[in-house]
Structure 1
Amino acid sequence: MDDLSDFLRQRNIPEETIETMLKEKIDTNVIQLMTDEELKNYLPSYGDRIALLGYCKRKENGPLSSRKSKLFERLKSKLGKRKTAHEDGCGMENEEQSETTVKKNALKPKRKIEIGWMLYDEEQQAFKQVRARRGGGTRKVEISKDAKKSELIQMAIGLFFPNGRNREGCIADFEIDLKDYQEVAIDDNITVGQMFHVTKLSILRFYLTTHKKKANQSIGQDEVMSSPLFQDQDSSLSQPSSSSAVNVAMTSQSTISTAVTSDFLFFGNITNHDNINFSLHSTELREEDLDSSNIVFVGPFSDSEPQILDDTLPISPQSTSTAKAVKKILIVHRGQVLPELIAHFCDDGLLDKDFKIQLVLPDGTPEMGYDDGGVVRDCLSEFWKEFYDQCTTGNTYKVPFLRHDYGQQQWESVGRIIVFGWTREKYLPMKIAPVILEQAAFGQVKSEVVENFLKCLSESERFVFQSWQSDFSSVDKEELIEILDNHSCRRMPTASNVNEILQELAHKTLVQEPAYVIEQWAKTLSITGNSFQDLSLVYENLQPNARKVLRSIVFPEEMNAHQKDIQKHVSTYIRNADLQHLSLFLRFCTGSDLFLDKKILIEFTKIQGFLRRPVAHTCSCVLELSMYYDSYPDFSAEMNKVLESNVWVMDII
């Protein structure tokens, strides 16, 4: 109670009030159980009550924290005593265990090692280790004790240059060597096991060193052969599965010469497309598949755009002239759509080029879907779903927030993706608040800012603000002040200033805070903004609803009794579906989670039993349904399982 009295005197509380509280035995525990009205009898000032409650909470947490620290100290002392006793009494036993461990390691065919990457710094004239955030870091792997320098180099290339290139450039652009933990070059003939025996270390560390080649240095065929693009590496030496590469093994000399002399460029991963028969069970390209290829494969890249033909493979002048008309294939991995698509569109000239998208499964298997619109729509849907989760805040409407790892290049890339989706498929990220896109496209706001702002808030905050607008006397003042404080509002709310304060908060949230993002998006949106002048109408048209979806579904003109029953099931399912399931249904059938006014053609199959399931073709927007459903609940349950599984693979060309 003495501490409480001192605190109250510091707040200039009258002495008679303090004496009254002491007489009534009001301490910190009692205060926390009191309502605000009860506490108001002693402290009329709202600020004093808030300060007193904060003081009580700190007092409650203080002893607990000190108690925890004392417990930790006691635990440390006990552990220290136990360790000392163990060292004194069991020294010989530890030595025997150590010798046993050494013997066991000597019998193992593989040993764990650490591998890092060092890049030559031209300014400091020295090798510098590359950090993990730039694609380097220290990797721990297992390798055979019989492995030599060449195998270690090959493994390191697979780790730090997974697609044959990284943000620093292509592997063929560097002079490569391998050094030990002392940064001394390793002998070509010494094995990993011999190095463990000589150094007596529990784990060895190696560094892949790369030094940029001079301009006059050419790339030999042996270097091309040793590149990871032409190696089928062991899975234990490759990068993690979340970003695993789809490498194609070129095993014969004739295959390589064909790749060199054709109009076929290799950037990143090589996957399935319309002119190559790609076997899911084989990583070998046949020579006849390359004869008529006119395709450039562009894997994910970050800082620099892919090299042109002259810098990649030695080809004839005739082939160089045709390289400008080459069609590109953008490789995008499932689960990595957001960073990889942003990396692709960092190329400011990509919008002017004709390209298609190849999706790759997380296990490295390319999806067999042929990109005739459906793959692009599906890729855009997945991209914006990840973007909303990782780069925005808000509820119904989203607002981009600044990330430390997203600079000018990344935000400009997102702006190009917006333009690409609109010009290619009329797809627009309609969860982004319209005010933001209007400011970026037209340089001014056309929508109602406060209305946009309220849709960015949670339902509870929106309800409080709307109550404030309609009837100030009915609002919980404490909750209102707390919400305004969370939005950094510095004004006291009244019945007369509600519109003014909401206008200020809305402008700060939707225009001022994302101003940098809007500035980068404006570089591309301002050019194509005229194509969606009435943004509110565009948003309304893209929003799915049951009436629009039912209007877009086309059934065969002639149907039997079973087929007519399925028609009724489909209509009932669409009418009962909420917005989330409507979006999933549209994405399953068309690739897009928005309504793009695509006609969905219904075809009937006779699949029954265990194999029965809905099958969709997103490019042609065809939905295949079995005729054999016993009832509507049977149909609805199966459709929900498919849509909610979130595991859709494009395995039909």
Structure 2
Amino acid sequence: MEIGMEALYTFLRSRNIPEENIIKLRDDKIDVSVIELMDDRALAVYIPAYGDRIAARKFCSEYQRKGASTQTKIVSDLTKNQLTNADIKLNRTNLLDELISQFIDPNLLNRTFTFGYINERGAEAPAVSRDVYSAFWMDFYDYATEGQDMRVPILSHKRMEAEWKAIGRILLKGFQDHGYFPCMLAKAFTAALLFGEKSVTPDLLFESFLSYISKEERDLVNKAIEEDLDYEEEEEMIDFLGRMGVKCIPVKENLKATLFSVAHKMIIQKPKYALDKMSEVVGPKLRQVFDNVDRLQQLYDI
């Protein structure tokens, strides 16, 4: 098992896990077979970053499956293209466009780096990197999405295939390295992002739609489904449906079906180009982490 332990430690060093953490693993006799039995909280004592824990589990799983005779190849396969530490300097005031520009390069997913802010003293610490992802998504919500409590991307002439794939890489890298996930993206949108449109159930779609519209609109829609509206409320509903692109006012019996169609249009159809291009990057990798939609949705409950 010594070979397996050394292979594991070599892999962890390639991801810049601090040497004191690796020594603690060695002292506590944590090897490839033990890691597979540890829950996430216990493993976090040794490997703090969520993305590093996912990578370590994958390494151990492949090592156990392929055997010690291929350990050198496994380390090579899982660490190839890992570069030495590098700093990426960003302007805080133009963070959205600058980070997208950086992640146009697909090789960035395989690099180890930290972020720093230009002209800000003390803004180059490793902790800043997580802040960069958080700040990026806040800017993204403000300037590149629409919706209320939950949002979906807005298509723009500024963002073509390369830019949407770059945004997918930002989502993936932030999650791999820091466990950061943009949970203001609508649940149905992220389900389709990872598992495809067919994975989105009617209930999930409608829940996402209710979070996408305003509280006043949400209250109106819920009331319209459950009971009769008065004249003023009926006028508000007609206006709401008109803003959603509904040309013909449905009778009460058909209202919920119409609302499901509207939900599909706003949550899936309108951002479909962005969804498809981001999914090409995000889907294959994060499906290795989340087995199904229910596992993905647990992120929203944290």
Question: TM-score w.r.t. structure 1 length?
Answer: 0.32
In structure 2, how many angstroms separate the alpha carbons of the residues matched to 1:494 and 1:324? Answer: 60
In structure 1, how many angstroms separate the alpha carbons of the residues matched to 2:121 and 2:194? Answer: 35
Aligned to 2:278: 521
Q: What is the aligned-residue identity percentage? A: 27
Aligned to 2:97: 339
- Please tell me whether Structure 1 or Structure 2 has the larger radius of gyration of its CA atoms: 1
Aligned to 1:389: 142
Please give the root-mean-square deviation of Cα atoms over the aligned residues, in Å.
1.8
In structure 1, how many angstroms separate the alpha carbons of the residues matched to 2:219 and 2:229? Answer: 14
2:223 to 438, 460, 467: 467
- Structure 2 counterparts to residues 128-527 of structure 1, below 5 A: 325-360=83-118, 365-372=119-126, 374-444=127-197, 445-446=199-200, 448-474=204-230, 476-527=233-284
CA apart distance, 1:390: 0.6
Number of positions where the alignment pairs a residue of Structure 1 with one of Structure 2:
214
Q: Does the CA-based 8 Å contact 1:399-1:432 persist in structure 2?
A: yes
In structure 2, how many angstroms separate the alpha carbons of the residues matched to 1:420 and 1:324? Answer: 13
Aligned to 1:607: none
CA apart distance, 1:369: 3.8
In structure 2, how many angstroms separate the alpha carbons of the residues matched to 1:522 and 1:325? Answer: 25
Q: Give CA deviations for 1:263-319 in whole Å, capped at 9, x if unaligned.
A: xxxxxxxxxxxxxxxxxxxxxxxxxxxxxxxxxxxxxxxxxxxxxxxxxxxxxxxxx
In structure 1, how many angstroms separate the alpha carbons of the residues matched to 2:123 and 2:117? Answer: 8
CA apart distance, 1:529: 2.3
2:251 is paired with a residue whose SS is coil
- Structure 2 counterparts to residues 598-609 of structure 1, below 5 A: none
1:336 is paired with a residue whose SS is helix
2:114 is paired with a residue whose SS is strand
Question: TM-score w.r.t. structure 2 length?
Answer: 0.67
2:296 to 523, 535, 539: 535
1:340 is paired with a residue whose SS is helix
Q: Does the CA-based 8 Å contact 1:467-1:474 persist in structure 2?
A: no
CA apart distance, 1:326: 3.8
Distance 1:473 1:336, change over 3 A: closer
Query: Which has the larger share of helix?
Result: 2
Q: Give CA deviations for 1:396-439 in whole Å, capped at 9, x if unaligned.
A: 00111111111111111100000011111111111110111111
CA apart distance, 1:474: 4.3
Q: Give CA deviations for 1:101-150 in whole Å, capped at 9, x if unaligned.
A: xxxxxxxxxxxxxxxxxxxxxxxxxxxxxxxxxxxxxxxxxxxxxxxxxx
In structure 2, how many angstroms separate the alpha carbons of the residues matched to 1:463 and 1:437? Answer: 25
In structure 1, how many angstroms separate the alpha carbons of the residues matched to 2:249 and 2:200? Answer: 29
Q: Does the CA-based 8 Å contact 1:481-1:493 persist in structure 2?
A: no
Q: Give CA deviations for 1:586-633 in whole Å, capped at 9, x if unaligned.
A: xxxxxxxxxxxxxxxxxxxxxxxxxxxxxxxxxxxxxxxxxxxxxxxx
Using CA pairs under 8 Å that are at least 6 residues apart, name the structure with larger relative contact order, 1 or 2. Answer: 2
Distance 1:324 1:451, change over 3 A: closer
CA apart distance, 1:536: 1.6
